[in-house]
Amino acid sequence: MKSDYLWDKSGADADVEALELSLSGLAYDGDAPVLPVQRQPLAPVKVPTRRGPIFRHAKLGPIALAAGLMLMGFAVAFSALQKEMADVRRGWNLVPVTVANVDISEGTVVTVDMISQRSIPEQFVTSSVVKPDSVNYVVGQRVQVAIAAGDPLQWSQFDSARTVEHLASRILKRARALAVQVTGTAGVGGWLRPNDHVDIIGSFKDPVTNEQVAVTLLQNVNVIATGKLTGTTNVNLLPESARTYDNVSLMLLPEEAELLVLAQETGNLTFSLRNEEDLDVLEERGRATINTLLSGERTKVLQQKRFNTIQVIRGSAPPAPGN
């Protein structure tokens, strides 16, 4: 029986089987040959084109960056414009000042009903203009120039605001004015004022004993000026910096002026402030040295004298109830 090339249903070929029997008597009982498996071809990769979504986003990058820089530029320009506008408006902010309510003629003493408050642009207000919170300093003061109604009041318009004065007119005949340098402690801590009365103490080195000596040189000396301030200067009208001083002008006899000049050159001077009603002058001047300071003999005497002299200050309290 002739067989075809294909395998039969049992998986064997009759002719091949007969041939095997004739040749060796053995039948092929091995595994069937492995046939190659046909693989599906890979699908082609779709490469994105410039019209795809990736490239559409890539195009947006430079645009977004340019937009961000533009917004930042607008913000900076807007901020600078706002600052410029604020600077312009600041000069036109209204601030209150003191103005004349009526026409004030030269030499008139200012009263409350002569002045009022008005607001003007800040750029026209200087430190010389009187502010409403300083009205109490100008009320009762005499003006040196005429002031029209509505004009702002200025410190320079008042008599007491003048700092340039003729000190010579305050010196008595046959007297002299002498300026003495002072420090804070030497000038009673800065409490000296024109028309005060002081004693002047000098400390020197004794040329004979070479010891330090303190002695009251002058008593009840009149202070006619402290720095540039005199008795007619209204201190309340001056700034704080103009009230300080580093020298004091005293009214002295010519001989006393000579004494103080020499004392300044050879030692140190200190002022002691007196009560304005205490005009007594001690005939005997004390003399303090290191020996009297350390021995305590003079200290005991002075302590008793001080107790007898100024005890009224300590004993001024009213008596207790029932006494």
144-173 pLDDT, tens digit each: 889 999 999 988 888 654 444 567 777 888
pLDDT at 112 exceeding the cut of 60: yes
Judge if 190 and 272 occupy the same domain.
Answer: yes
Cβ atoms of 111 and 139 closer than 8 Å? yes
Domain boundary among 161, 180, 197: 161
Judge if 141 and 171 occupy the same domain.
Answer: no
The pLDDT tens digits of the residues spanning 218-276 come to 999 999 999 888 877 766 666 677 778 889 999 999 999 999 999 999 999 999 999 88
Residue 59 lies in a domain: no
Residue 34 lies in a domain: no
Q: Which residues pair with 205 in a beta bridge?
A: 212
Q: How far apart are CA 163 and CA 230, in angstroms?
A: 9
Q: Which residues pair with 268 in a beta bridge?
A: 203
Judge if 235 and 135 occupy the same domain.
Answer: no
Residue 223 lies in a domain: yes
- Count of alpha carbons within 13 Å of 165, Cβ hemisphere only? 21
Cβ atoms of 122 and 93 closer than 8 Å? yes
Judge if 102 and 189 occupy the same domain.
Answer: no
Sorting pLDDT into bands at 50, 70 and 90, what band is 15?
low
The pLDDT tens digits of the residues spanning 199-220 come to 999 999 888 888 889 999 999 9
Domain boundary among 104, 127, 161: 161
Task: Provide CB contacts within 8 A for 155, sequence distance 6+.
Answer: 128, 130, 161, 237
Predicted local confidence at residue 274, as pLDDT? 92
| Number of domains, the chain | 2
More confident residue, 321 or 90: 90
Judge if 131 and 230 occupy the same domain.
Answer: no
Domain that holds residue 185: 167-283
Residue 78 lies in a domain: no
CATH number at residue 142: 3.90.1210.10
Residue 22 lies in a domain: no
Q: How far apart are CA 249 and CA 175, in angstroms?
A: 12
Q: How far apart are CA 259 and CA 257, in angstroms?
A: 5
Say which amino acid occupies 71: L
Judge if 173 and 275 occupy the same domain.
Answer: yes
